[in-house]
Amino acid sequence: MSKAGQTEQPATAGPPVTPEAPEPDPKRWLALAVLLVATFMDLLDANIITVAIPAIQRDLGASAVAVQAMTAGYTLSFAVLLITGGRLGDIFGRKRMFLTGVAGFVVASALCAAAQSTEMLVASRVLQGLAAAVMVPQVLALIHVTFAPQEVGRVVSLYASMIGMAIVCGPVIGGALVDWSPLGLGWRSIFVVNLPVGVAALVGAWRWMRESNSPHAKRLDIVGMLLAIGGLLLLMLPLTLGRELGWPAWSIVSLVAAAPVGVAFVLYERHKTRKDGSPLVTLSLFKVRAFGAGIGVQLLFSAVPAGFFLSWTLYLQGGLGWSALHTGLTAVPFSVCVPLVGSFAVRRLSPRYGRYCLLAGALMMLAGIASYAWVADRTGADITSWHAVPAMILLGSGMGLLMPPLTALVLREVTPQEAGAASGIINATGQLGAALGVAVIGGVFFSALGANAGPQADRALPEHRAVAPQHVTAVRTCATDSLGQDDLTKVPPSCTMLLDGADAGGREAIAGALGDIRGRTFQTTYSETLYWTAAGLIPVTGLLFLLPHHRVRKQEAAV
């Protein structure tokens, strides 16, 4: 185990060799392809539904509450069962649980595609999330126990790149499927596409994947599982739905109640460890410096890209009117840089420079976010995808320098028998951090949007002389009302009254003024939000100094 300060030792991105580690599997790279496809399928499904929501509303008559339930149902069911899903793999076999999760995901996807009501679609989405929670923790666990230490870093960089690709590809693929409507399926095609992919993953996993489990923890910790699920639900539910519902009293109570439930979970896990050595989470994992500090970094770091891409999508599609395809293509430089830089980082930079590699990644991401804010503020409505290229390169390169080495470092000293539980914790932490980022950065964005609407209207209206003087105040009111609400697609009564009271020429002038105000408000709000998002990387940078500073000797690095 590493000590504080710099350690001179042969560094690998993976875990130490242990007597329990199996011989390298000759089919491990084929198995890895299956694991990466399953990872992409899960993350794609978490993001793809957003662009299909209007079509689903038209077809099924889904209410705003039902729409929230479609997205939140998947996220919540997935997040709260991740730790349990990881431990199930340790106990019953990681290959077996992976196959179970993929099969459940395929069945749930078929039910989503066949849904005839919003209730059926919501229930199927919840089932999808539960299946994903069984499937996903096995990915990192199988990587950890399947690959040799010198291979783990490169494999984790591929895993991280798959995450980045899925985040930006979701809206693109979803938009293309909904627009093209293959076989006349419309929005249902976004779920049908999972069926052949999932079946292929099942066949590949069955043929190429080696079974593994933990020789310990043979009993399922039911009480610990219920406490973990309850605590995560109390945290995730308000973070996921609180802002959209206006932070009702129950959401605050839920957040407060999460603390004592978390304490109860820790106390019970200590008792369970003393009693029979079969806890849901081995708390001694957090005494390992690389794991404990790394989980803290993972929590805060996950909030930044989640918050960035939320505000980015709202800005481009809601403010500038870009299509989902246009938006997704703008992120191509990010998607390309994550795997390229990540692979180089885990093989060359992280072993040679230790945690300085991760620090460089955090600073590069900060520079990328700040530069995008500056460009958006200067170019306004004239911004193009080309303006975003330098910022996206910085963001993708920074994430490549930080995320793959961090994941490999967190797993570094985890024993193979704890791989499933550790993977579940890593994934659950990432989900919690993402929810935190969406809640906080989303809250900042929407609050600033409402606050900026009035001042931007005052600046824009004098330039729109075609707007009749008697309509100027009403246009300002309409702009502030429409941009100050949580659902930006709704038309407030003030706008309806304004348009009903104007003739055809007046409506055209009013629409032009409202469009200009909307664009200016989104531009200003997005820049402000990005500066706050960049500030979120400051505590991440500070926490990185708590990580062990593993470096290879200079002569070994030169080999």
Domain boundaries, the chain: 23-211, 219-239+249-281, 449-527
pLDDT tens digits for range 140-180: 888 888 888 778 777 877 887 777 677 667 767 877 787 78
Tell me if 435 sits within 8 A of 310, measured CB to CB. no
Amino acid occupying residue 507: R
Q: Give the DSSP letter of residue 345.
A: I
Predicted confidence (pLDDT) at residue 20 exceeds the cutoff of 80: no
pLDDT at 515 > cutoff 60:
yes
Distance, first Cα to last Cα, the chain: 25
The answer to whether 482 and 454 have CB atoms below 8 angstroms apart is no
Cβ–Cβ under 8 Å, residues 478 and 507: no
Q: CA 14, 18, 19 angle in degrees (round to 5)?
A: 150
Strands (E), 200-239: none
**Which neighbouring-strand residues pair with 8?**
551
> Would you call 248 helix, strand, or coil by DSSP?
coil
CB of 231 closer than 8 Å to CB of 255? no
Nearest-angstrom CA–CA distance, 48 and 535? 29
**Running DSSP on this structure, what letter comes out for residue 523?**
H
Q: Which two tokens stand for residue 87?
A: 């431990």
In which element (H, E) is residue 97 found? Answer: helix 94-113
CA 395 and chain centroid, separation: 15
**Cβ within 8 Å of residue 260, ≥6 positions away:** none
Provide the pLDDT confidence category of residue 75 given band limits of 50, 70 and 90: confident
Question: What does DSSP assign to residue 14?
Answer: S
Question: Are 548 and 8 within 8 A, CB to CB?
Answer: no
User: Structure tokens of 397?
Assistant: 């390169």
d(CA 476, CA 220): 60
* Whole-number Å distance between alpha carbons of 342 and 428: 22
Answer yes or no: is pLDDT of 8 > 60.
no
Alpha-carbon distances, residue 373 vs 36, 240, 300, 370, 376 (angstroms): 33, 26, 21, 5, 5
pLDDT, residue 18, reads: 42
The two structure tokens encoding residue 329: 């293509």
The C-alpha angle 39, 41, 44, rounded to 5 degrees, equals: 105
Cα–Cα distances (Å) from 301 to 141, 345, 428, 454, in that order, read 21, 18, 13, 34
- Which segment, 17-31, 271-285, 381-395, is predicted with the most confidence on average? 381-395
* Residue 376, token pair as written in the block: 């958006």
Q: Tell me the two tokens of residue 316.
A: 């481009």
pLDDT at residue 484 in the model: 84
Q: Are 451 and 542 in contact (CB under 8 A)?
A: no
Q: How confident is the model at residue 2 (pLDDT cuts 50, 70, 90)?
A: very low
User: Among candidates 123, 87, 88, 109, which has minimal Cα distance to 38?
Assistant: 109
Task: Specify whether the CB–CB gap between 334 and 392 falls below 8 A.
Answer: yes
Residue 442 CB contacts under 8 Å (≥ 6 apart), including other chains: 243, 307, 310, 311
Give the CB-side neighbour count of residue 174, counting CA atoms within 13 A.
Answer: 26
Give the number of C-alpha atoms closer than 13 A to the C-alpha of residue 311, restricted to the C-beta side: 35
| H or E segment and range at residue 377 | helix 355-379
Rounded-to-integer distance, Cα 387 and Cα 390, Å: 7
How much is the pLDDT for 104? 96
What distance in Å separates the CA atoms of residue 9 and residue 2, rounded to the nearest whole number?
Answer: 10
The helix (H) or strand (E) run that includes residue 550 is strand 549-551
Above 60 in pLDDT, residue 36? yes
Report the C-alpha gap between 191 and 168 in whole angstroms.
18
- The answer to whether residue 19 scores a pLDDT higher than 50 is no
Mean of pLDDT over the chain? 84
- Angle CA(197)–CA(426)–CA(27) in degrees, nearest 5? 45
Percent of the residues in the chain that have a pLDDT greater than 90, as a whole number: 26
Could you tell me where the beta strands, DSSP code E, fall in 248-346? none
- Tokens for 362? 């955090």
Average pLDDT on 283-298 reads: 87
User: What is the spatial distance between Cα 438 and Cα 308, in angstroms, rounded to a whole number?
Assistant: 8
Topology classification of domain 23-211: Growth Hormone; Chain: A; (1.20.1250)
List C-alpha distances in Å: 79 to 97, 248, 552: 17, 22, 37
User: What is the tens place of the pLDDT at every residue in 476-505?
Assistant: 999 998 888 876 777 888 888 888 878 888
| CB-based burial label for 325 (10 Å; 0-12, 13-18, 19+) | middle
Q: Residue 435 carries which side chain, given as an amino acid letter?
A: A
Please state, in angstroms and rounded to a whole number, the distance separating the CA atoms of residues 501 and 496: 9
Task: Identify which of 81-95, 162-176, 207-221 has the greatest average pLDDT.
Answer: 81-95
Hey, what amino acid is at 204?
Answer: G
Residue 9's pLDDT band (cuts 50, 70, 90)? very low
Q: What is the mean pLDDT of residues 508-535?
A: 90
Question: Which tens digits make up the pLDDT trace of 222-237?
Answer: 899 999 999 999 988 8
DSSP state string for 363-374 = HHHHHHHHHHHH
Distance in angstroms (rounded) separating the CA atoms of residues 463 and 459: 8
